[in-house]
Structure 1
Amino acid sequence: MNNEIYVIGHVNPDTDSICSAIAYARLKQKITGGEYKAKRAGQINSETKFVLERFGVKTPSYLSDVRTQVRDIEIRRTKGVNQGISLKIAWAYMKENNVVTLPIVDNKNHLEGLITVGDIAKSYMDVYDNRILTKAQTPCINIVETLEGELVVGNEEDVFAEGKVLIAAANPDLMENYIEQGDIVILGNRYESQLCAIEMNASCIVVCDGANVSKTITKLAQNNNCKIIKTPYDTFTATRLINQSIPIRYFMTDQELLYFTNDDFIEDIRGIMAKKRHRDFPILTKDGYYCGMISRRNLLGAKRKQMILVDHNEKSQAVDGLEDAEILEIIDHHRLGSLETMNPVFFRNQPLGCTATIIYQMYLENGIEVEPPIAGLLCSAILSDTLVYRSPTCTEIDRASAEALANIAGIEVEQYAKEMFAAGSNLTSKSPEEIFYQDFKKFIAGDVTFGVGQINSMTQDELEAIKEKLVPYMQKAYHDHGVAMLFFMLTNIMDSSTELLYQGNGARELLLNAFSLGKDTDEVYLSGVVSRKKQIIPALMQTLVQDNN
């Protein structure tokens, strides 16, 4: 089962979302010793990529959906068996491990088939063919093992490919009439019967009751290429057991096998399992390797993924399937959103400019040293979210934290910030879709859902080039999301201003009312506005609430 706890930011992650997830996962590991893994809910942008490379930190792996998967349940590690083993060995393994289905795998652990208790029962109860052993190409070693015997003459690797199984109960004169070439003859210690079988070109004689085999018979068998197997069982028992030496490949199911993978979602496979009469289902890795078995009962013990959310607390901004996960903690600096939890959680929300500032405080509160690479990530997140202290969301706590972290990371704030923003604002070569989703979030106000994206740049020329790409793309994005309205902020870091693009019925009117603009305004320029969280979203929310009252 998967015992990891995922620390993850919002979809379309920004630098704060990624860096805070990495830093908080590291903090939780140091405090608890648990398995905390930072994840990302979307593609990282150019700015974040620069930051991670600058401080030599690996990009968190992508997590697209946190619904419960097969990997989150207890998989029974039933060992796969070779298709050549006997029915007897398969039955013994089933009893020993209390299972009713055996997976059959090749030498590379790829699934080849399945055999069940029912298959073995049918092989014993429904088969009346005395040539079944040779039809099944039964190896000599299987018969020796099944009869717990000794191979006196012959090669155990040989395979019986023709003939039937019979008991030499008659006198030699009568036996000559029904023993054929290639037959396997079960008999006792009668010299005449053994001699007759060998002379009639039987492929094997099975001598019961542990009787000794004379040197003459042994020599004759060698000369006539006839195997001799000596078993301690009596004739009745040996006859009853010998069919259990058949290799399981003869009875296994190897066509249209129903299996699942570790990555399959429980809600997707539950219905499939209910429609099938199978007791057990094999589980494969995404690379096709067998790893275990599950039954319907295992689904009852499915463990929900455990999550810690950073830099968001709204369902519309969260990774898909969050309603099926168990949220343990939320660390955020945004307004309280629409997210609901099944149980009480640790929730830390502070009116600061950046989640990374809160994470840094928690390092200090727990007496945990901030390593230079982590300090670099946290400082970068603060500089990014506060636009190097220019954003109205920035507090003195943010500034002091960034300066302390910069000292640990060994960076000079102003110079480093220019490099970071330059890397992040090199957007003219990107597609409009890549630009649009670099930092996009959805919000809900009453019955109205709207989306707001943002791009920061150091130069107005770059913003103008981006605008030419985004204006025609906005209509497509609007229809793709099915929201009431769509907005996009083109923010100039250097002169602290934003141009707002808009799409949707009532979007223009909402902006005019929210920011007290003239009725003839077409292009919306907002001087001194750079923060989506503190300047744009509250104004839009308040206006929507007033309009609905």
Structure 2
Amino acid sequence: MILTLYVCGHRNPDADSILSAVATAELCRVTGHAAVACRAGSVPADAAWVLKHFGFDFPQLLEDARLSLQEIQLSPAQSCRAIDTIFDALQSMNDPDRPYLGVTDEEGRLLGMVTRNDLADIGMQDTALGIRLLQTARLEDIARTLSGTVAVRPEAPLHIDGRVSIVAWSDHSVSRYEVKDRIVIVGDSPEAQLKLVEQGAGLLVLVWTDRVDPAVRQAALEYGCPVVISGHGSMNTSRYLYFSVQIRHVMTPDPVTFRRTLFVQEAIREMRRHRYRAYPVVDDEMHLLGFLETDAALNFQERKMIRVDHNEDGQSVKNGSLARVQAVIDHHRVGGFLSREPVFYRCEILGSTCTIVARLCLEAGIPLRPAMAGLLLSGMICDTLGFRSPTTTETDRQLAEYLANQAGVDISWLEQEILSRGGSTDLVQDLESDLKQFDVCGHDVRIAQILTGDASRQELDALLDAMEDYVAASGTELLVTAVTVLPLGGSYLLAAGELAWALSDVTSSRMQLRLQEDLLSRKKQILPLVSEKLG
């Protein structure tokens, strides 16, 4: 079984995170690996424009790294209807490795479950159980189960008490048999059949014959005794009678079920409490989708992921540490990343993750189609602020020229189109749009960056209020927000939290605005500054 690689950037993704995930997923597919691009948050406006302009689909939203039941291969949804007979159910259990069936209504909604052991128990229980079950049998079900036909069908309803008698014709009179309301199996003697009807048999089952004598037929109609001609001999007829009972009378109602959105790890915890062989998986309307078998659940493999534009667990998709990380492609600091197995790790001091992905494509000898070249170039422009960020390297600039040529676009035009869409129009609303979590000197620190074309004192004051609310709700020790004003080529730093005092000489306050000129990069300037102040 080929497991899909899920390529995902960090939470609160920026354009580089989104676009590098799309490009890396395509690189994986070109090199023969099943891969899908994901995102751990909303697509920002600049990335959305790039995707639409170059003809790429939005990455799928991944809210949790754990696999849900709807994402793994389940055992087939083999089932029978509640009105099917035990015989029907046994015929459906044709796979010896899956001795169970879901029991559904006419719309496919789960009502119960039945196993081969449940059906075997019927033959091993006391006689009273068999009697109670046969009292519920329907005439048509009996005839069908016996591969027979209903030869006489009186108007009176079927009246059987569940007991079965096999009558052998002999020199002795059949009057010695107690047959009232019983199911009576009898041979081809019309005389014996007639006497049994007159003695009040509830149902006559004929064996070794294919006709009913006219006198017997007339008496059966008068006494209200149906007659069934069986397709089997006496022994098999007596055995199969008990298989004519409908499954609804022997199923386990309301079994332990799992919704398809349940995570596999949560299902395993529940399975350890019950220890059944298989569990039905249903949708929100209880339609049966398949079965989760215990052996398969305990041996399942976690989601295989590639992290792009980040490496730290705290920045990854929720429960990212539970996934099997196969690769990391990043241009940030290495911060507490641990893996359970060796991984491909590519981290370079470059302006964007898209730069690294482009280099990987070229190193692998994979030609970049124009749309892919344009997408990678756009990611580089976004993350380097049009190559003005101090994180920009000569490698970024040279590769940008190459990608522009491959894409057939003008860098200046593309930069103008992208950056005009990337600026914030509501600082408060965008506080969490590009926020990352760090462990700095043992402290919980979160740094947000908001790009904008302008920022008034009133807007910064409102943003500071929102930051204080965020700190109170999250409990983080320090929240730093860099409001980067692109036309001014610098940033206003705001801080909230119990450690905000440590940055008081560089941050703006309600009383004083301080534009930090040329402060544009979170990873190369702001994070090192925070680390220095807290250290």
TM-score (norm 1): 0.86
Query: In 2 relative to 1, CA 277–538 (structure 1 residues): closer, same or farther, beyond 3 Å?
Result: closer
Residue deviations 1:42-99 (CA, integer Å, cap 9, x gap): 1222222222223332211111111244456663325122223322343454474233
What residue number does 1:311 align with? 309
Q: 1:198 Cα deviation (Å)?
A: 4.9
Query: In 2 relative to 1, CA 42–159 (structure 1 residues): closer, same or farther, beyond 3 Å?
Result: farther
Q: 1:371 Cα deviation (Å)?
A: 2.7
What residue number does 1:192 align with? 191
1: CA distance, partners of 2:397 / 2:117:
71
Q: Given residue 337 of structure 1, which amino acid in structure 2 is its aligned partner?
A: G
Q: 1:423 Cα deviation (Å)?
A: 2.2
What residue number does 2:43 align with? 44
What residue number does 1:17 align with? 17
What residue number does 1:27 align with? 27
Query: In 2 relative to 1, CA 412–297 (structure 1 residues): closer, same or farther, beyond 3 Å?
Result: same
What residue number does 1:101 align with? 100
Mapping for residues 324-335 of structure 1, pairs under 5 Å: 324-335=322-333
The equivalent position to 1:453 in structure 2, one of 443, 448, 453, is 448
What residue number does 1:531 align with? 521
Contact preservation (8 Å) 1:72, 1:303: no
What residue number does 2:229 align with? 230
Contact preservation (8 Å) 1:308, 1:329: yes
What residue number does 1:386 align with? 384
Contact preservation (8 Å) 1:460, 1:492: yes
Mapping for residues 381-530 of structure 1, pairs under 5 Å: 381-428=379-426, 432=428, 434-460=429-455, 464=457, 466-510=459-503, 512=505, 522-530=512-520
Residue deviations 1:119-152 (CA, integer Å, cap 9, x gap): 3244331452676456434352x323433x3316
2: CA distance, partners of 1:95 / 1:46:
55
Q: 1:469 Cα deviation (Å)?
A: 3.0
Mapping for residues 282-293 of structure 1, pairs under 5 Å: 282-285=280-283, 288-293=286-291
Contact preservation (8 Å) 1:282, 1:294: yes
The equivalent position to 1:361 in structure 2, one of 359, 362, 370, is 359
Query: In 2 relative to 1, CA 320–190 (structure 1 residues): closer, same or farther, beyond 3 Å?
Result: same
Contact preservation (8 Å) 1:204, 1:227: yes
SS in 2 for 1:435: coil
**Is 1:248 the counterpart of 2:238 in the alignment?**
no
Q: Given residue 544 of structure 1, which amino acid in structure 2 is its aligned partner?
A: L
TM-score (norm 2): 0.88
Contact preservation (8 Å) 1:421, 1:457: no
SS in 2 for 1:436: coil
2: CA distance, partners of 1:296 / 1:130:
32
**Is 1:88 the counterpart of 2:87 in the alignment?**
yes
SS in 2 for 1:307: strand
1: CA distance, partners of 2:451 / 2:499:
26
**Is 1:4 the counterpart of 2:7 in the alignment?**
no
Q: 1:538 Cα deviation (Å)?
A: 1.5
2: CA distance, partners of 1:280 / 1:154:
44
SS in 1 for 2:24: helix
Identical-pair percentage: 28
What residue number does 1:179 align with? 180
Q: 1:338 Cα deviation (Å)?
A: 1.2
SS in 2 for 1:494: helix
Which piece of structure 1 moves more, 12-21 or 162-171?
A: 162-171
1: CA distance, partners of 2:380 / 2:495:
28
Query: In 2 relative to 1, CA 444–521 (structure 1 residues): closer, same or farther, beyond 3 Å?
Result: farther
SS in 2 for 1:97: coil
Residue deviations 1:192-245 (CA, integer Å, cap 9, x gap): 22234456786642112x234355368648966865433354434422331121
2: CA distance, partners of 1:246 / 1:217:
31
Contact preservation (8 Å) 2:152, 2:221: no
Contact preservation (8 Å) 2:64, 2:319: yes
Count of paired positions: 527
Query: In 2 relative to 1, CA 129–179 (structure 1 residues): closer, same or farther, beyond 3 Å?
Result: farther
CA RMSD of aligned residues (A): 3.2
1: CA distance, partners of 2:342 / 2:284:
35
Contact preservation (8 Å) 1:383, 1:417: yes
Q: 1:298 Cα deviation (Å)?
A: 2.8
Structure 2 residue ranges without an equivalent (≥5): none
2: CA distance, partners of 1:505 / 1:522:
20
What residue number does 2:532 align with? 542
2: CA distance, partners of 1:301 / 1:12:
33
Q: Given residue 418 of structure 1, which amino acid in structure 2 is its aligned partner?
A: Q
Query: In 2 relative to 1, CA 543–459 (structure 1 residues): closer, same or farther, beyond 3 Å?
Result: closer
SS in 2 for 1:263: coil
Q: Given residue 357 of structure 1, which amino acid in structure 2 is its aligned partner?
A: T
Q: Given residue 406 of structure 1, which amino acid in structure 2 is its aligned partner?
A: A
Query: In 2 relative to 1, CA 44–154 (structure 1 residues): closer, same or farther, beyond 3 Å?
Result: farther
Q: 1:381 Cα deviation (Å)?
A: 1.1
2: CA distance, partners of 1:55 / 1:29:
19
Contact preservation (8 Å) 2:495, 2:503: no
Q: 1:281 Cα deviation (Å)?
A: 1.4
Q: 1:388 Cα deviation (Å)?
A: 0.6
Contact preservation (8 Å) 1:172, 1:196: yes
2: CA distance, partners of 1:79 / 1:174:
48
Q: 1:362 Cα deviation (Å)?
A: 1.6
What residue number does 1:114 align with? 113
Q: 1:521 Cα deviation (Å)?
A: 8.9
Q: Given residue 111 of structure 1, which amino acid in structure 2 is its aligned partner?
A: L
